[in-house]
Structure 1
Amino acid sequence: MKRIILLKTMKKLYFLLLFLISISAFTQTYSYTTYNSGNSGIGSNSIYDIKSDANGLLWVASYYGISTTLNGTTFTNYNTSNSGIASNVILKIEIDGQGRKWLASQSNGIILYNGTTWTNYTTSNSGLPNNNIIDIAVDGQNNLWVVTDAGLTKFNGTTWTTYNSVSNMNSVATDSNNGVWVTNGGVLYKFNGVDFNFIAQGTQKILRIANNIVYVKGSDSLITLTTSGTNITFTYQSTSCLAGSQLNALDVDSNSKVWIGFNGQGVQNFTNCTTYTKTNTNLGLPDDYFSAIKTQSSGTIWLGTLQLGLVKMTPSTSTCNPPTQLYTSNITSTTATLNWLPPTPAPNGGYYYVYSTSPTMTGSATGSSSTTANIANLLPNTTYYWWVSANCVSSQSTWAPGGAFTTLPNQTGCWKSVSAGSFHSLGIKTDGTLWVWGNNTDNQLGDGTNTQRNNPIQIGTATNWKKVFASGKYSVAIKTDGTLWAWGNNQFGYLGDGTTTNRTIPTKIGTATDWEDIAVGEAHTLGIKSNGTLWAWGMNVSGELGDGTTTNRLVPTQIGTATNWKSIAAGTFFSVAIKTDGTLWAWGYNGHGQLGDGTITNRISPKQIGTNTDWADVVAGDSHTAGRKTNGFLYTWGYNGSGQLADGTTSSRSTPFLASDAIQKVITGSFNTIAITTSGNVIACGNNTTGSFGNNTNTSTSNWVLLGSNSHMMISTGGLHTLSINNDGVLKVTGSNNYGQLGDGTGVQKSTFTQLVCPTSNLAVDEISTTSNNLKVFPNPVQDYLTVSFDQKIVSVTVYSATGQQVLTKMINDNKGTIDFSTLTSGVYLVKVNADNNTVKTVKVIKR
């Protein structure tokens, strides 16, 4: 297959040429320096282990004591003739958190060096059970773990304790959680302090534990698994780029790249699938047999051989650095966008990228002149891995791994409208059904419980929901018949039902059928009716209702007599609105200048802001306001502590500031602002600490940042999480997820937009149009006949399947009746009771 490569031409013009690029065409090059007893001060040519201390000093265990060096220029050797070291044959070095060096000798026990004194622990002077040391490790609590023929021994500085229920152990290692791992030449165990728990077979010895991954040599493979003991992977030479099966040593560098030293196959950067051998390099690699390997943050790699001494691999001084901050976005069932940031200095030849379904980099590379790549024709519901490198024309950087992403299953969008509250979300599907998810502490989901929902759950069976509005502790909605519904916390009359009683399910507010739009604040609600009148209810401590008082209102109260209100927004204790004549109005709390009248004075009645008559729409955050004019100019004012005004500062403003032009839509969260430009780009500013921008960062900004360019039918943000529906009805989510408000079932925070799979019917609770009455439905579960009784006259009963399909209807016209369930299959059904006075209630019934 042909791939695209970029070539640089004059005037920095780039042309795409079809050309096949081998993955290994450009690899990091090294120079090699060998230190042996004949050309340097190193103590021995037989190297067993290499470690580096906190000062970067290299400690080399050898056949003739210990050698130390900082960069290979000068060596200091410790042996039995010039120091207090008790043995010359040192097989292993471990350095603990106090900087002490623990040495495993071949036949003379354990040696401790504290920088001044050498202490030798043997069977004759300590609890060490055997002087022939096979392997050692230290944990984060500075305990020493020793493997001998006698078993596994722990030394805490005072006491020696031996565990020997597993015999013939040949390696030991500790993880970052102080877990202890051992092998006995066939089985990998994890020691829990008492017992040895079986983990895997086919193992020979532990090579390394790094980044919560255990690397184990298998009989003919590299075995990797997480430190939790799950996700075990066997990697074979025949099915990957693993250079060989005789793995002797392994280390993981500061870029999380895995380096392996082989017995006969050289040394390999396994992450990049690049192998260095004596035969494929002409720069001085002296051998293909390596017994030890140690990487350093500078990129230098130290190798130990059993005959030829110590080898230093020094990376070339090329300034071709790999790209950084790799992330994916816009993932669908068949497409995805790869993103990265340029290195310093930026390459003059663009980039190469590779993607495949294999976690090992294989195949050909594609060239790109930008820091994004749109890939298509992917398989649905499939995991892909990807890598990017910089093309510096004369050289190429190392490959930077982008990680993995999984395409979505084949599906079409199903969403029409969404609303993001502080910690919960509401949505209406294209079939008019209502769905909720997230925090439910205050019954704001309306499912009859206060149980958190990590996945969307359907509320009732109604299919005529039109608009939803999520606040912090309560929710409001309008149906297509113009009726108003509310549920959740009602402490100060937020719901408008004339009480301060919380409602656990959607409850009809009044009898009006002409509600057009709603705005919910922190503790008050605004509404516009189809006749253009303005209404408000809830808390009024700062005059946010605009009725000329500071008295709370428990029912919708008309504000003034004007009939030309067009657009409304509610923040925390303040309100803003636009009339059909294009004038801007504001009232309520003004401590941060959020009313925009040039003062910080509260207003208890609507006050016109300026004299302009070209305002198109207005939105409100917690304490800031954004308004768009008919010419697309966007203005912001109010609190600016997170940079949500997009003026490059964090200073508040009490008058409108021109923040952008060419804006077709603006959305506010608590402390951020999102806008859609007339060209379709999505931009954002302000707080992003929870990833609510979806740009793979948690960085807040006082200037606009570009989030993407896909078409968006609707965006809603609560400030900490964001919901976005595109023109195909596909819902994507990002940001905080500690209450399940993203609805993806994980509860894990996201920093990139993730598609939410369309939910199937899982009806939750009943929906009532008046306060609850004494409805009784029994027996439940039911075998044959279901009895329904009510303290009102029941007009009819309708039964629906769990998928929402109507299965039977019966006219009752009495306070009590029976429904024949005997012919229905076992499962969950929804029984909808229609009574006098338009009372409707739906309950779940289980058919045995």
Structure 2
Amino acid sequence: MKNWLPFLIFSIYSISAFSQFIDGGYGHSIILCEDSTVATFGENNSAQLGIGTKDSGTHPNPNSPIGITQKVKMVSASDYSSYILLLDGTVMAWGQGIYGQIGDGTNTNFVYTPTPVLNLDSVIVIESNSAGDFVLAIRTNGTVWAWGHNGSGQLGIGNKIDQNLPQQVIGLDSIVDVAAGAGHCLALRSDGTVWAWGSNSYGQITLADSVSDSTLPFIIDTLFGATNVEAGAAFSLVLSGDSTIWAFGYNYYGQLGINSTIFKTNIPTKVFQLDSVIDIMCGREHALAIRRDGTSWGWGEAGYNQIGVSTLDRNKPFRTNAIAQFVTMNAGSWHSFATDIYGNLYSFGRNTYGHLGTGSTSGSGSVVFPNYNSLICKVVVEPINPYARLLVNQEGNPNAYRFQDTSVYSTYRLWDFNDGSPIDTSINPLHEFNAPGIYNVCLYAFNQFGIDTTCTTIEILATNINELNSSVFQVYPNPVKDILNIKMNQHLSKSIEIEIFDVNGKIVVKDVKSNLSNQISIPLDGLKNGFYILKLNGSEFSQSIHFVKTDE
């Protein structure tokens, strides 16, 4: 075991960053395939599929946008437009452009094929919303740029004038994540502070009811230590460093997840009974989250089962009916997506235009199944390390144990029982220990991005082959204060090796007794009060016994 671990850690470790490989608009969707190509499907009434035409039909199978000659590293979708971030840091856009949201210097009604966004390079993140008509971008220097519709000041440039070329959002630097709503925005600074601007019609940027909007970013001074921001049409979510979620804004459908029917709130409120969250995402009026244990949760508007739970709106998180552990989730207006560690796509919710990509326009059922459309590519997998977990139960004879690999995001595993037996790669091995002792059993969980390890201690007190009883020897007193006595009723060995282990498996006493008499005395000077295991090894037997050291 010691030889291969350093190599594997070095060769498969990867660092995750903010990214998006799948997104949905009002009635269309866009995904980034593992070969860095792009596929679109669904509605095309505004040329949002990028295939050179627009039409009123449905496109339930994937299409390839025309004219993309470089590899793509991120995708995004607004209500009727699509965006891609290329590996060289430039952005392309297509679809509806009446508000200037294409970013090519025009307000053309429709742009039919991918077109470069002008005056913008070194981009690392792009963001738009399925209910919005504007775009945000983060550049490598931490500044934020915006273009498109600006009716509520959502471009953050100090006015409400639409822009058909990217403009720098005023007063922001060191930004690592952004979120766009229908008319409001959030930004996450590298110091964990959250900034907001745009529409405040429902308190979605935390301002008082008397304030309709803000055309400039401001810090939300009640939020700090944040790690992620997301926005729905008119509500906001912030993931805190303690892995809880805070919500504010519009709540008609329960999309804040605060277990309340309150219509709206401008006060950040903790999402009800949901912790250990690693990712959050918003649709138009619904929200999704993934916990560290791989479970996925949904709440808010659910008329099309876009939360993966049922068609009943929920005002607090419910676990989705998913058959897999999701690495990432994302959402359009009334439809949602998820991917697993293998790059399989899961889609659920509204499907009127075929925007689930299932090859039909039928809606999804109550259970979240993989997308079985053979024409759908494998989706790029969000980099995430495995989380090793195990369960263990005694099974059969006293020395046999059933181990279960319950790891999250693991695609392969190795078991090391640390008893000289071969490494085991099965999911739930049954292992029998053949000698008494304390064994540190370790599970190594792997995926394509990294490795995680967890261990558990197994104490074997006697084997079924060499089990001894009180007719052979007796240990007294127990509990013991000063001297532990071993009375030998039979002479089974010329010498006995004596080992005493503490609760951490550390040997604290080790001795060999030869020329044995009927009784052996072991002084316990220097041992702290507590629980210990005495292990006796002879030529024909091995036995372990618990005892307690005390001052009384």
TM-score under structure 1 length normalisation? 0.35
Distance 1:478 1:558 in 2: 18
Deviation at 1:539, TM superposition (A): 0.8
Asked if 1:429 corresponds to 2:93, the answer is no
Counterpart residue number, 1:664 = 327
Deviation at 1:525, TM superposition (A): 0.8
Distance 1:477 1:520 in 2: 10
Counterpart residue number, 2:546 = none
Deviation at 1:450, TM superposition (A): 1.1
Asked if 1:528 corresponds to 2:195, the answer is no
Distance 1:594 1:425 in 2: 25
Instruction: Assess, with a 3 A threshold, how the Cα gap between structure 1 residues 547 and 418 changes in structure 2: closer, same or farther.
Output: same
Deviation at 1:460, TM superposition (A): 2.6
Residue pair 2:119, 2:165 contacting (<8 A) in 1 also: no
Q: Aligned match of 1:440 in 89, 97, 114?
A: 97
Asked if 1:538 corresponds to 2:538, the answer is no
> Match of 1:456, as an amino acid?
P
Counterpart residue number, 1:686 = 349
Asked if 1:640 corresponds to 2:302, the answer is yes
> Match of 1:468, as an amino acid?
I
Q: Aligned match of 1:515 in 169, 175, 182?
A: 175
> Match of 1:484, as an amino acid?
V
Aligned-partner SS, 2:242: coil
Q: Which runs of 5+ in 2 are unaligned?
A: 1-31, 36-60, 383-552
Deviation at 1:685, TM superposition (A): 0.8
Deviation at 1:405, TM superposition (A): 12
Q: Aligned match of 1:567 in 228, 238, 242?
A: 228
Distance 2:159 2:64 in 1: 48
Counterpart residue number, 1:420 = 77
Distance 1:491 1:644 in 2: 29
Deviation at 1:613, TM superposition (A): 3.3
Residue pair 1:546, 1:559 contacting (<8 A) in 2 also: yes
Residue pair 2:254, 2:316 contacting (<8 A) in 1 also: yes
Counterpart residue number, 2:370 = 706
Deviation at 1:711, TM superposition (A): 3.6
Asked if 1:460 corresponds to 2:127, the answer is no
Deviation at 1:702, TM superposition (A): 3.6
Instruction: Assess, with a 3 A threshold, how the Cα gap between structure 1 residues 440 and 710 changes in structure 2: closer, same or farther.
Output: closer
Q: Aligned match of 1:618 in 252, 269, 280?
A: 280
Larger Rg: 1 or 2? 1
Q: CA RMSD in A?
A: 3.0
Q: Aligned match of 1:476 in 124, 136, 142?
A: 136
The one-character-per-residue Cα deviations of 1:231-288 (angstroms, maximum 9, x if unpaired) are xxxxxxxxxxxxxxxxxxxxxxxxxxxxxxxxxxxxxxxxxxxxxxxxxxxxxxxxxx
Residue pair 1:545, 1:588 contacting (<8 A) in 2 also: yes
Deviation at 1:408, TM superposition (A): 11
Counterpart residue number, 1:306 = none
Q: Aligned match of 1:499 in 154, 159, 171?
A: 159
Distance 1:699 1:571 in 2: 25
> Match of 2:148, as an amino acid?
G
- Bigger strand fraction: 1
Deviation at 1:546, TM superposition (A): 2.0
> Match of 2:174, as an amino acid?
D
Instruction: Assess, with a 3 A threshold, how the Cα gap between structure 1 residues 698 and 497 changes in structure 2: closer, same or farther.
Output: same
Counterpart residue number, 2:239 = 578
Q: Which runs of 5+ in 1 are unaligned?
A: 1-329, 334-403, 716-848
Distance 1:407 1:438 in 2: 14
Residue pair 1:547, 1:559 contacting (<8 A) in 2 also: no
The one-character-per-residue Cα deviations of 1:646-695 (angstroms, maximum 9, x if unpaired) are 22x32111111100351111111110111112343211110111111222
Deviation at 1:412, TM superposition (A): 7.8
Asked if 1:607 corresponds to 2:269, the answer is yes
Counterpart residue number, 1:652 = 313
Residue pair 2:34, 2:380 contacting (<8 A) in 1 also: no
Aligned-partner SS, 1:680: coil
Instruction: Assess, with a 3 A threshold, how the Cα gap between structure 1 residues 332 and 485 changes in structure 2: closer, same or farther.
Output: closer
Counterpart residue number, 1:450 = 107
The one-character-per-residue Cα deviations of 1:712-760 (angstroms, maximum 9, x if unpaired) are 2279xxxxxxxxxxxxxxxxxxxxxxxxxxxxxxxxxxxxxxxxxxxxx
Residue pair 1:643, 1:685 contacting (<8 A) in 2 also: yes
Distance 1:570 1:533 in 2: 16
Instruction: Assess, with a 3 A threshold, how the Cα gap between structure 1 residues 653 and 541 changes in structure 2: closer, same or farther.
Output: same
> Match of 1:606, as an amino acid?
P
Residue pair 1:683, 1:707 contacting (<8 A) in 2 also: yes
Deviation at 1:600, TM superposition (A): 1.9
Matches within 5 A, 1:712-731: 712-713=379-380
Q: Percent identity?
A: 29
Distance 2:296 2:205 in 1: 26
Deviation at 1:610, TM superposition (A): 2.9
The one-character-per-residue Cα deviations of 1:133-168 (angstroms, maximum 9, x if unpaired) are xxxxxxxxxxxxxxxxxxxxxxxxxxxxxxxxxxxx
> Match of 2:125, as an amino acid?
K
Instruction: Assess, with a 3 A threshold, how the Cα gap between structure 1 residues 408 and 515 changes in structure 2: closer, same or farther.
Output: closer
Distance 1:406 1:562 in 2: 42
Instruction: Assess, with a 3 A threshold, how the Cα gap between structure 1 residues 414 and 538 changes in structure 2: closer, same or farther.
Output: same
Counterpart residue number, 1:553 = 214
Distance 1:680 1:469 in 2: 22
Distance 1:461 1:450 in 2: 16
Aligned-partner SS, 1:707: coil
Residue pair 1:625, 1:638 contacting (<8 A) in 2 also: yes
Instruction: Assess, with a 3 A threshold, how the Cα gap between structure 1 residues 550 and 677 changes in structure 2: closer, same or farther.
Output: farther
Residue pair 1:540, 1:550 contacting (<8 A) in 2 also: no
Distance 1:488 1:461 in 2: 14
The one-character-per-residue Cα deviations of 1:515-569 (angstroms, maximum 9, x if unpaired) are 1111111111111111110011111111111245452111111112543111111
Aligned residues: 316
Counterpart residue number, 1:697 = 360
Deviation at 1:612, TM superposition (A): 4.2
TM-score under structure 2 length normalisation? 0.54
Instruction: Assess, with a 3 A threshold, how the Cα gap between structure 1 residues 530 and 408 changes in structure 2: closer, same or farther.
Output: closer
Greater Cα offset, 447-456 or 702-711: 702-711
Residue pair 1:667, 1:675 contacting (<8 A) in 2 also: yes
Distance 1:445 1:413 in 2: 19
Distance 1:509 1:408 in 2: 30
Residue pair 1:588, 1:604 contacting (<8 A) in 2 also: yes
Asked if 1:589 corresponds to 2:246, the answer is no
Matches within 5 A, 1:126-145: none
Distance 1:667 1:332 in 2: 17
Distance 1:463 1:576 in 2: 29
Residue pair 1:482, 1:513 contacting (<8 A) in 2 also: yes
Matches within 5 A, 1:380-419: 414-419=71-76
